[in-house]
């Protein structure tokens, strides 16, 4: 069993060049794996600055990690040969946040669909290509006659984003990395787009990495969840467990911060109070805002501990009963 896509202890720093002493850590010691035999939907949840966008770019090979490796079918991404790289590009597709910027305004929207078909030689004739494209559009709930031949500004944001999902479909990838695919789309359309992604996973066995700041949609769509806080993993595991019984104080904070449609109006009032322990050079990054911070949190970074068969938490309140282990995060995703 080769893991399809694997991240091993990926760390990424920005800045810190010759003249710039301050470097920012965007992602720290992140490990992850996708087993092609078990397609799943993994949500990566974090606020801005958590490292989730950097993670997307690293997994897509758009940016090289400062340390650690990203492996595609066991081979380092940045050491792939031309043919292997083409396979990689076909196998791992992306959907981005901005449904307008991804379209070249000079061309009709057909361009984003015809280009990959041509590049990856998916069809032997024009009619075959057209057929593939129309099928993909129908698979995401769009009518080809309403979409093809139009310019990007003539379609709505929701339609444009769905065309992007159709594009990802064309290449029959094994993994789709979706970076905030619905945050710029109206609430009423989100369900349709996310529903398409779920369908792709269930019907075509495509693994989805769903990156978002919206915990609620993550819960609805994903099987597994990774919660990032300032470049580190706070908590990860089965989405039902993490959302219904969160262990990391940050996850708990996230969940209670979501305003619910209910007649109970406590949201404005309940604000957890931080202990106000000053952050140290090392130590847990959440310590400033943590309502249950302890002195050890200031000095020692919390290790990722396996607290349940399908959950890891990085918090001193939840130490690993079996002692610190390596590759805890990656292992959890791969083991059955």
Partner 1 sequence: MFSYLRRNKSLAVGVVLLSLLALFIIVGNLTVDTELARPLSVRALQPPSWEHPFGTDRQGRDLLAAMVAGTPLTLKIGFIAGFLGVGIGTVLAFIAGYYRGITDTLIRGIADIGLTVPGLLVLIVIAVSVRGGLTVNQMAIVVASLAWLNPTRTIRSQVLTLRERGYVEVARLNGMSGPEIILREMMPNLLPYLAATLVNAVSAAILASIGLEVLGLGPLESPTLGMTLYWINFNAAILNGWWWWWTAPIVIILMVFLGLFFLTVGLDEIANPRLRQSA
Partner 2 sequence: MNAPGMNASGMNAPGMNASVLRVEHLRVSYDHPLGSVRAVDDVSFSLRAHERFGLAGESGSGKSTMALAILRLLRPPGRIDGGEVWLDNIALSSLSDDAMRRLRLAGIALVPQGSMNALNPVLRIRAQIADALGDHDMALSRSDLAARVRDLLGQVGLPPEVAEMYPHELSGGMKQRACIAIAICLRPKVIIADEPTSALDVVVQRQVMATLARVQQDLGAAVVLVGHDMGLMAQFVDRLGVMYAGRLVEIAPIAEIIAAPRHPYTQMLIASLPSLERKGMMQGIPGLAPLLRDLPPGCAFHPRCPQAVARCRTERPVLREVAGGIEAACHLA
Can you give the binding site for partner 1, defined by CB under 8 A? 60, 62, 85-86, 89, 93-94, 96, 98, 100-107, 112, 115-116, 119-120
- Rule CB under 8 A: choose which of 122, 123, 191, 334 binds partner 2: 191
**Nearest approach, Cβ of 73 to partner 1 (angstroms)?**
17
Query: Which is closer to partner 1, CB of 13 or CB of 96?
Result: 96
Does 152 participate in binding partner 2 (rule CB under 8 A)?
Answer: no
Tokens of 208: 């989805």
Query: How many residues of this chain bind partner 2 (CB under 8 A)?
Result: 40
Query: Which is closer to partner 2, CB of 110 or CB of 223?
Result: 223
Query: Which is closer to partner 2, CB of 76 or CB of 146?
Result: 146
| Coil/strand/helix, residue 157 | helix
Does 271 participate in binding partner 2 (rule CB under 8 A)?
Answer: yes
Instruction: Give the position of tokens 């893991």.
Output: 3
**Nearest approach, Cβ of 128 to partner 2 (angstroms)?**
30
Q: How many CB atoms lie within 10 A of CB 141?
A: 15
Instruction: Give the position of tokens 């994903």.
Output: 222
Answer yes or no: are the C-beta atoms of 270 and 256 closer than 8 Å. yes
Q: Sign (positive/negative) of CA torsion 114, 116, 118, 122?
A: negative
Instruction: Tell me which of partner 1, partner 2, none is bound by residue 258, counting a contact when its beta carbon lies within the kind-specific cut-off of 5 to 8 angstroms.
Output: partner 2
Q: How many CB atoms lie within 10 A of CB 178?
A: 28
Q: Which of 233, 177, 257 is nearest to 30 (CA)?
A: 233
Instruction: Tell me which of partner 2, partner 1, none is bound by residue 107, counting a contact when its beta carbon lies within the kind-specific cut-off of 5 to 8 angstroms.
Output: partner 1
Instruction: Tell me which of partner 1, partner 2, none is bound by residue 189, counting a contact when its beta carbon lies within the kind-specific cut-off of 5 to 8 angstroms.
Output: partner 2
Answer yes or no: are the C-beta atoms of 2 and 58 closer than 8 Å. no
Instruction: Tell me which of partner 1, partner 2, none is bound by residue 216, counting a contact when its beta carbon lies within the kind-specific cut-off of 5 to 8 angstroms.
Output: partner 2
**Nearest approach, Cβ of 94 to partner 1 (angstroms)?**
6
The whole-angstrom separation of Cα 71 and Cα 52 is 18
Instruction: Give the position of tokens 């959440």.
Output: 286
The whole-angstrom separation of Cα 219 and Cα 32 is 19
Tokens of 98: 């901005």
Site string for partner 2, 3-42 (x = CB under 8 A): ----------------------------------------
Tokens of 317: 């309140």
Residues of this chain that interact with partner 2 (CB under 8 A) are 47-48, 156-159, 186-192, 194-195, 213-217, 219-221, 240, 243, 253-255, 257-263, 265, 267-269, 271
């Amino acid at each position: 069993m080769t893991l399809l896509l694997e991240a091993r202890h990926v760390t990424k720093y920005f800045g810190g060049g010759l003249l710039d002493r301050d470097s920012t850590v965007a992602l720290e010691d992140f490990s992850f794996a996708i087993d092609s035999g078990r397609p799943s939907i993994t949500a990566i949840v974090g606020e801005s600055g958590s490292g989730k966008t950097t993670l997307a770019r690293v997994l897509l090979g758009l940016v090289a990690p400062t340390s650690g490796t990203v492996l595609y079918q066991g081979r380092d991404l940045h050491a792939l040969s031309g043919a292997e790289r083409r396979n990689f590009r076909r196998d791992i597709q992306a959907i981005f946040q901005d449904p307008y910027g991804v379209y070249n305004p000079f061309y009709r929207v057909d361009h984003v669909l015809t280009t990959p078909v041509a590049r990856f030689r998916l069809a032997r004739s024009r009619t075959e290509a057209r057929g593939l494209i129309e099928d993909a559009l129908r698979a995401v709930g769009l009518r080809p006659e309403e979409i093809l031949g139009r310019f990007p500004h003539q379609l709505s944001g929701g339609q444009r984003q769905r065309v992007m999902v159709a594009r990802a479909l064309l290449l029959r990838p094994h993994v789709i990395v979706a970076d905030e695919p619905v945050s710029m789309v109206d609430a009423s359309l989100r369900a349709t787009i996310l529903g398409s992604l779920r369908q792709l996973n269930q019907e075509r066995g495509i693994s989805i990495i769903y990156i978002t700041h919206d915990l609620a949609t993550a819960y609805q769509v994903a099987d597994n969840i990774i919660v990032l806080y300032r470049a580190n993993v706070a908590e990860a595991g089965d989405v039902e467990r993490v959302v219904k019984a969160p262990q990391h104080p940050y996850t708990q904070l996230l969940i209670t911060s979501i305003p619910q449609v209910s007649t109970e109006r406590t949201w404005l009032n309940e604000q957890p109070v931080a202990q106000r322990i000053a952050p140290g050079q090392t130590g847990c990054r959440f310590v400033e805002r943590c309502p249950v911070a302890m002195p050890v949190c200031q000095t020692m970074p919390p290790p990722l501990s396996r607290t349940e068969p399908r959950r890891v938490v990085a918090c001193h309140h939840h130490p690993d009963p079996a002692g610190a282990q390596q590759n805890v995060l990656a292992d959890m995703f791969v083991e059955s």
